[in-house]
Amino acid sequence: MRTWILPLAAGFALNASAEVTFTKEIGPLLHEKCASCHRPGEAGPFSLLTYEDASRKAKTIVRVVEERSMPPWHAVSGQVPFLHDRRLSEDEIKMMAAWVEAGMPRGEGADPVPPRFPEGWTLGEPDIVLTMPEGYPVPAEGSDIYRNFALKLRLPEDKWVKAVELRPSARAVVHHSLFFLDNTGTSLAQDGKDGKPGFKGMGFRRAGSLGGYVPGATVQFLPADYAMAMPKNSDLVLAMHFHPSGKPEIEKSTVGIYLADAPPARDLANLQVPPAFGAGMKINIPPGESNYVVRDSFTVPVDVDALSVAGHAHYLCREMRMTAKIPGGSEIVLLGIDDWDLNWQDRYIFEKPVRLPAGTVVESVLRYDNSAENPNNPFSPPQRVRWGHESTDEMGSITLMVSPAPGQSREVLAEAAKKANFEVLGAIASQPREALTLALARRMKGLDVNGDGAIEAAEIPAIHRQRAMKFDRNADGRLNKEEVQGLLESFRTGEGV
């Protein structure tokens, strides 16, 4: 049996050549770093709470921690530390390997007691709990499904929200979900109309957004000065993306909403670089191309505090990086991901807000690999991949959540962000396929400028109007959802406008 000498630098025992045991080192480490997901009812496929749990999986554990695929955490250490960093230190990884090599000694004394997690809810009992009245059946096979579910909420007053937790009943198939508010009643009226729970398309006017859910992300409260607005009489809309898992599942989500006691002291804004999930970047990756780069930047017009950062892309993305070039020369890496994995789209929260003075250039660079060497390539052999909503299409952008510094104008910030979005729309307008796909999806309210769920002729860029309006089958001067669907189909089948 090899005895592992604990390194001095690790701050463990200074003199001893100590044996690593479950009771002393490994148990507490698994409880701290793994049990949040590896316990009954959570996202991890098995529990890692007891000696038996750990020794049964010992070899795999060492493999995944050495590869650093577990605990899931993809941001590299930069200059800016993140809150709740899940990474293991080099010493912790060595310690796990040494324990397994030594034959997994249990050690003296009682096993450590697993931490007590709040029953169910990560942040304790929510102020409001909503559950889908009926489960939605997700088939075993087939393409991805986008579907919205309206949950009746209708509070009589405006409220402010500190956190939202989604608890899917079938975690394996929920690829992600966005949370929107609708205070018009449209969503609830549409829900179930086609015979199944929920409704298709984004045919409702958004009164706000409450963030979203991705697997493995840590649910947490917004910092003290911040909250998200929830206008009175709103219903909550879950815009869900399902990815069939090979076996039929029924998804019946429960959502917990945590309210703030008072309106927030400061404003929040999301700066997406590039905007619209990269829709305007003409993403078009030839098969075999291993170094396809998407790059965009945004100049911050006022002093802001950056609070958190999150990337979004699909299978082919390999790396992404967001940097801030501060006027005067210094550069900060806000997010660096060297091994992008679409299953772990965490939002990384800065330990302390990062002040970015007016004039700072925030730049995103994303690299894609569409070669056969990319193990995540969904196509074999590789195929041309363009921007789109299916996970086998690509997207790419990094979102920085910021707050205008005290005394700085949020209007100036909003105006600059709007202008950047507008430039993207302009770029899209020169590309019929993307333009219309985007309009349909209305990720950023697309071309549906007045937000009524249909596309008015006037909302379509002039150069495409005539061709697009050929799909106005009932000749009412606007494209309703079905007509838009027909238009989209014509692109899919290649006979596009």
Binding-site string for ligand HEC from residue 327 to residue 366, where x marks contact by CB under 6 A and - marks none: ----------------x-----------------------
Residue 70 DSSP SS3: coil
Is residue 419 within a helix (H) or strand (E), and if so which, with residue range?
helix 410-429
Tell which one of 19, 31, 44, 258 touches ligand HEC (CB under 6 A).
44
Q: Which stretch binds ligand HEC (CB under 6 A): 62-70, 258-266, 312-320, 433-441?
A: 62-70
Peptide bond preceding 28: is omega within 30 degrees of 0, i.e. cis? no
Alpha helices in 279-393 (DSSP H): none
Cβ at position 65, least distance to ligand HEC in Å: 6
Is residue 303 within a helix (H) or strand (E), and if so which, with residue range?
none
Is residue 364 within a helix (H) or strand (E), and if so which, with residue range?
strand 361-368
> In the structure encoding, which two tokens stand for residue 115, read together?
């931490």
Cβ at position 73, least distance to ligand HEC in Å: 8
Tell which one of 65, 281, 285, 324 touches ligand HEC (CB under 6 A).
65
Asked if 89 is part of the footprint of ligand HEC (rule: CB under 6 A), the reply reads: no
Report the first-to-last Cα separation within the chain, whole angstroms: 72
Beta carbons of 322 and 296 less than 8 angstroms apart:
no
> In the structure encoding, which two tokens stand for residue 216, read together?
């493995």
The amino acid present at 129, given as its one-letter code, is V
Tell which one of 27, 72, 198, 280 touches ligand HEC (CB under 6 A).
72
Is residue 296 within a helix (H) or strand (E), and if so which, with residue range?
strand 292-299
Asked if 497 is part of the footprint of ligand HEC (rule: CB under 6 A), the reply reads: no
Tell which one of 60, 79, 131, 474 touches ligand HEC (CB under 6 A).
60
Tell which one of 27, 71, 107, 211 touches ligand HEC (CB under 6 A).
71
Nearer to ligand HEC, 44 or 278 (CB): 44
Strand ranges (E), 82-195: 128-131, 136-138, 145-151, 159-167, 174-182
Cβ at position 326, least distance to ligand HEC in Å: 33
The residue written with tokens 């333009």 in the block is 435
Report how far residue 173's alpha carbon sits from residue 244's, in angstroms, rounded to the nearest whole number.
6
Cβ at position 143, least distance to ligand HEC in Å: 21
Cβ at position 86, least distance to ligand HEC in Å: 6
Report how far residue 99's alpha carbon sits from residue 20's, in angstroms, rounded to the nearest whole number.
5
Tell which one of 21, 36, 148, 345 touches ligand HEC (CB under 6 A).
36
Between the CA of residue 419 and those of 103, 279, 399, 416, what are the distances in Å?
A: 62, 15, 16, 5
The amino acid present at 203, given as its one-letter code, is G
Asked if 112 is part of the footprint of ligand HEC (rule: CB under 6 A), the reply reads: no
Q: Footprint of ligand HEC on residues 195-234 (CB under 6 A)?
A: 216
Tell which one of 12, 18, 43, 120 touches ligand HEC (CB under 6 A).
43
Tell which one of 31, 38, 206, 464 touches ligand HEC (CB under 6 A).
38
Q: Which stretch binds ligand HEC (CB under 6 A): 42-50, 108-116, 247-255, 305-313?
A: 42-50
Cβ at position 33, least distance to ligand HEC in Å: 4
Tell which one of 12, 23, 56, 64 touches ligand HEC (CB under 6 A).
64
Alpha helices in 163-288 (DSSP H): 186-190
If 0-12 CB within 10 Å is exposed, 13-18 middle and 19+ buried, where does residue 193 land?
A: exposed
Report how far residue 443's alpha carbon sits from residue 270's, in angstroms, rounded to the nearest whole number.
14
Asked if 104 is part of the footprint of ligand HEC (rule: CB under 6 A), the reply reads: no
Cβ at position 54, least distance to ligand HEC in Å: 8
Binding-site string for ligand HEC from residue 411 to residue 430, where x marks contact by CB under 6 A and - marks none: --------------------
Report how far residue 414's alpha carbon sits from residue 45's, in angstroms, rounded to the nearest whole number.
43
Tell which one of 37, 228, 337, 424 touches ligand HEC (CB under 6 A).
37
| Positions that interact with ligand HEC (CB under 6 A) | 33-34, 36-38, 43-45, 48, 57, 60-61, 64-65, 70-72, 86, 88, 216, 343
